[in-house]
Amino acid sequence: MPIQKSDGILLRRQDLRETSILLTFYTRDFGKIKGIVRGVRGPRAIFGGGAYELFALDEIIFYERKGGEIFTISQCDLLNYFNPIRASLEKLSYASYIVELLDSVTGLSDKNSEVFDLALNSITLLAGHSSSRRVARIFEIKLLSLLGLMPNFAECANCGSAAGIQPRFSLRHGGLICKKCLNADRMAVSILPGTVKFMEHIRSSSFERAAMVKVSVDVGRELERLLRRYLDYHVERRLKTVQFIREIAP
């Protein structure tokens, strides 16, 4: 692979040896990549100016190393540090959650520019005056949709017939199940019609329209609870930021 350049959102940083760091980016043009930056630690380190901080938007130049999927990053220039987020513990925790979730559900070199735009738009929205929880829910729903993991609300996820009145939500089957199929999952839970409507509206709306949608307190609470259980069920890795968000929640 020749020398490449792309914008990337920093998902993870790991110290490596005495002077190097291993960075994981989700890039606009190449999906998720890992790369080593040398000479950025120790007494002779080159100052990165915030480019090596989580969820920073950087422009990176990189090239392939022999043997393996880890690149060498020769240049990493900061494009946006998102200062308002770093001034708020709540916003900081939610931005960290966004990049940790994105890292956990994407594979290396699986390019998806829509996923990149969603992450960047979500972090940018979080840097404004929007509710951190609402930004997180929009990101979760749209990410699930883009990755083909969105719960099935169009019909019963077990038998394929209409979900009908008062369906229940099944983690095992990945969507609503009708009354006739309740025996298929005794752990299925009730779900408010407003929760289903909100998720479908967010999924089908542009990001700009989704960002303006308001949600009732009851729907918001149920939405957060159901999405958390759904993601925990389908995502293999436990997210450290989830527990931290719970600890700082009012």
pLDDT given for residue 249 in this prediction: 81
**Spatial distance between the Cα atoms of 147 and 55, rounded to a whole number of angstroms:** 20
Last residue of a domain, one of 25, 48, 81: 81
Secondary structure letter of residue 67 according to DSSP: S
Q: Is the domain of 133 the same as that of 32?
A: no
Q: Is the domain of 148 the same as that of 26?
A: no
**Spatial distance between the Cα atoms of 178 and 156, rounded to a whole number of angstroms:** 6
Q: Is the domain of 28 the same as that of 143?
A: no
Alpha helices of the chain — where are they, by DSSP H?
83-86, 89-105, 113-126, 132-146, 193-204, 207-210, 217-234, 240-248
Bigger pLDDT: 16 or 162?
Answer: 162
Q: Between the CA of residue 213 and those of 135, 156, 202, what are the distances in Å?
A: 11, 27, 8
Q: Is the pLDDT of residue 48 over 70?
A: no
pLDDT, average across residues 26-53: 81
Domains identified in the chain, total number: 2
Q: Is the pLDDT of residue 21 over 80?
A: yes
Q: Is the pLDDT of residue 43 over 90?
A: no
Task: Give the CATH number, domain containing residue 18.
Answer: 2.40.50.140
Q: Is the domain of 166 the same as that of 77?
A: no
The per-residue pLDDT for range 121-139, each reduced to its tens digit, is 999 999 999 999 999 999 9
pLDDT, average across residues 33-60: 81
Q: Is the domain of 115 the same as that of 196?
A: yes
Q: Is the domain of 57 the same as that of 175?
A: no
Q: Is the domain of 41 the same as that of 61?
A: yes
Q: Is the domain of 46 the same as that of 117?
A: no
Task: Give the CATH number, domain containing residue 133.
Answer: 1.20.1440.120
Instruction: List 65's β-bridge partners, or say none.
Output: none
The per-residue pLDDT for range 180-205, each reduced to its tens digit, is 999 999 999 999 999 999 999 999 99
Q: Is the domain of 73 the same as that of 100?
A: no
CB neighbour list of residue 146: distance below 8 Å, 6 or more residues apart: 112, 114, 115, 118
Q: Show the tokens assigned to 99.
A: 């990049």
The per-residue pLDDT for range 202-231, each reduced to its tens digit, is 999 999 999 998 889 999 999 999 999 999
For residue 145, give its domain range: 83-250
Last residue of a domain, one of 19, 52, 81: 81
pLDDT given for residue 45 in this prediction: 52
Mean pLDDT of the chain: 92
Neighbouring C-beta atoms of residue 70, cutoff 10 Å: 18
Q: Is the domain of 14 the same as that of 28?
A: yes
Do the Cβ atoms of 58 and 11 come closer than 8 Å? no
